[in-house]
Amino acid sequence: QSVLTQPPSASGTPGQRVTISCSGSSSNIGSNYVYWYQQLPGTAPKLLIYRNNQRPSGVPDRFSGSKSGTSASLAISGLRSEDEADYYCAAWDDSLPWVFGGGTKLTVL
Amino acid sequence: QITLKESGPTLVKPTQTLTLTCTFSGFSLSTSGVGVGWIRQPPGKALEWLALIYWNDDKRYSPSLKSRLTITKDTSKNQVVLTMTNMDPVDTATYYCAHTTDYGDYGFDYWGQGTLVTVSS
């Protein structure tokens, strides 16, 4: 049972815009930054979004993050086949240090 | 260029102690704000944060595993070591080490490739 709640799956067709939600509480998302990681099959996670909505160098602007209250979202626009991966949200928690979501498997139809 | 690589046994027996080493390059663990964390992922399951050590030897642990974990650093060797006692089959997972900076504000921005540890008799 993960501290942050994500839908187990999401899907979209090429070119579509999809969003993945992440729900937490006042001790994590509500008072700290949110991060998003992309994990392609058989590889290590890769930082996609930091500080709620900042993209590291090299991450396409098709990926965007937002946060409101105790929830956050990752949006992927112009969906591409190579976006098929698992996506994890994460946040610092005032009591638990780092916490991760349960992950969302994105399928590109 | 920042790189990290995990090393350690691939198979441990139940009740044994696991020792994993993260050897890194491209940064120094004596630089203010820098940290190295450990995250694991059981097969087919989600990521789970385990421990984190900062440049100033500040250490943080997952509360649920704190009694079993110890994280240390050797700045001269560019290594971070994680030990986990009393291993159980449920601890079977890929273990990753990852770099963070600015006391975690930038997230875990560089990850090792991970090492799969199987706990079985």
Per-residue confidence (pLDDT) for residue A44, from 0 to 100: 98
Residue A54 confidence (pLDDT) above 90: yes
CB atoms within 10 A of CB A41: 7
> Is B106 touching A (CB cutoff 8 A)?
yes
Of residues B6 and A94, more confidently modeled:
B6
B107 pLDDT exceeds 90? yes
Residue in B49, B63, B96 closest to A44 by CB: B96
Strands annotated E in A1-109: 9-12, 18-23, 34-39, 46-49, 63-68, 71-76, 85-92, 98-100, 104-108
Predicted confidence (pLDDT) per residue in A69-86, tens digit = 999 999 999 999 999 999
CA dist B113 and A96 (Å) reads: 25
- Which residues make Cβ contacts (< 8 Å) with residue A48, sequence separation at least 6? A36, A37, A38, A55, A56, A59, A63, A65, A74, A87
pLDDT digits (tens, 9 = 90+) for B12-46: 999 999 999 999 999 999 999 999 999 999 999 99
pLDDT band per the 50, 70, 90 thresholds, residue A1: confident
pLDDT of residue B105: 84
| Residue A1 CB coordination number (10 Å) | 5
Q: Token pair for residue B109?
A: 């921005």
Per-residue pLDDT at B118 exceeds 90: yes
Residue B54: partners with Cβ closer than 8 Å, 6 or more residues away? B33, B34, B35, B103
Instruction: Pick the residue from chain B with its C-alpha nearest to A33.
Output: B105
Average pLDDT over residues B56-82: 96
- Rounded distance between C-alpha atoms, residue B54 and residue B15, angstroms: 29
Strand partners, B116: B94
Whether residue B62 lies within 8 A of chain A, CB to CB, comes out as yes
Alpha carbons A76 and B25: distance in angstroms, whole number: 32
Yes or no, beta carbons of B47 and A92 under 8 Å apart: no
User: Which of B6, B49, B97 is the best residue to mutate to test the A interface, defined by the most A CB atoms within 10 Å of its own CB?
Assistant: B49
Confidence band, pLDDT 50/70/90 cuts, at residue A2: confident
**Using the beta-carbon criterion (under 8 Å), do A102 and B46 form an inter-chain contact?**
yes
